[in-house]
Amino acid sequence: MSLETADSPLVELKNVYKYHYSKELETAAINGIDLRIQSGEFVAIMGPSGSGKSTLLNLIGMIDRPSRGHYFFQGQLTNQLVKKELAILRKNNIGFVFQSFNLIDELTAAENVELPLIYLRIPASQRKKRVQQALAELEMSHRMNHYPQQLSGGQQQRIAIARTIVTEPSLILADEPTGNLDSEHGKIVMDKLAYFHQRGATIIMVTHSSRDAARAQRTIELFDGTTIIPEADFLAS
Ligand code: ADP
Ligand code: MG
């Protein structure tokens, strides 16, 4: 079933729950969320530690699937897709940025950025140019042959963002992208995310920083796995 239409939201969650199980313990990490995010939006997600922010991002990124409820991506119901179909949808549309950079230490900066292009089976002849372009956009060309350990945290995050944008994802999911950075390097990373948003990417960013959240167009507040509806929206609806 594909219900894709021009005005479908990019991301739509309908009454979504996600339970985590460990030993006898059941945690409702996401507790009945309704959410619509349009293509081209820049959205911040805030909330206390343990409120379900990372779980929500993993659901949106199809790394995880809902325990209950419906998730539509580009108007398509994802619940019924098999793992391989989800992976293809993810690979072609979604890029992740993590707090801890997640670069591969044994690969140079350029090799890290090239990796997703190899997964996408982009021919070697095109890869080099795209890697160079992505590194240039993050102002990291001069460090392309460095290994992650030879770079500062801010530089590593810029390489990680180059690795994310090299596939030109329509949706960038960032989980506390400035969480490990000082304010100066954090600002550079935020400037880059804002730049890719201006270029048309949809960005959903988890953050603890109200300054970073202010760069987004709206903020979703999570508490105990549910969204807190701002009073203004509540009155308007
Ligand atoms: P946040 O990112 O807001 O800190 P998380 O989404 O990581 O929150 O976690 C939400 C809740 O789900 C927490 O209570 C956490 O302990 C629990 N949780 C998250 N991941 C797992 C997991 N893999 N197994 C068991 N419980 C988990
Ligand atoms: Mg988290």
Three-class SS of 208-233: CCHHHHCCCCEEEEEECCEEECCHHH
64-70 average pLDDT score? 97
35 secondary structure, DSSP code: E
Closest CA to ligand 1's atom 25: 20
Residue showing tokens 């079933």: 1
Closest CA to ligand 1's atom 11: 29
- d(Cα 102, Cα 148) in Å, to the nearest integer? 10
pLDDT digits (tens, 9 = 90+) for 6-60: 679 999 999 999 999 988 889 999 999 999 999 999 999 999 999 999 999 999 9
Listed residues: CB within 5 A of ion ligand 2: 53-54
For residue 235, pLDDT over 70 is answered with no
**Pairwise pLDDT comparison (35 vs 233), residue with the higher score:** 35
CB atoms under 10 Å from CB of 124, counted, come to 9
Strand intervals (E) in 38-75: 42-46, 68-73
CB of 35 closer than 8 Å to CB of 226: no
Residues with Cβ within 6 A of ligand 1?
20, 22, 27, 29, 47, 49-55
| Nearest atom (ligand 1) to Cα of 22 | 25
Q: Which of 61, 52, 49 is nearest to 20 (CA)?
A: 52
Question: Residue 209 is encoded by which pair of tokens?
Answer: 């920083």
What is the model's pLDDT at position 23?
85
- Ligand 1 centroid to residue 24 C-alpha, Å: 15
> pLDDT class for 4, splitting at 50, 70, 90?
low
For residue 155, pLDDT over 60 is answered with yes
> pLDDT class for 1, splitting at 50, 70, 90?
very low
For residue 237, pLDDT over 90 is answered with no
pLDDT digits (tens, 9 = 90+) for 73-118: 999 999 999 999 999 999 999 999 999 999 999 999 999 999 999 9
> Which one of 16, 18, 20, 64 would you pick to mutate in the ligand 1 pocket, going by the greatest count of ligand atoms within 8 A of its CB?
20
- Ligand 2 centroid to residue 206 C-alpha, Å: 8
- d(Cα 52, Cα 30) in Å, to the nearest integer? 6
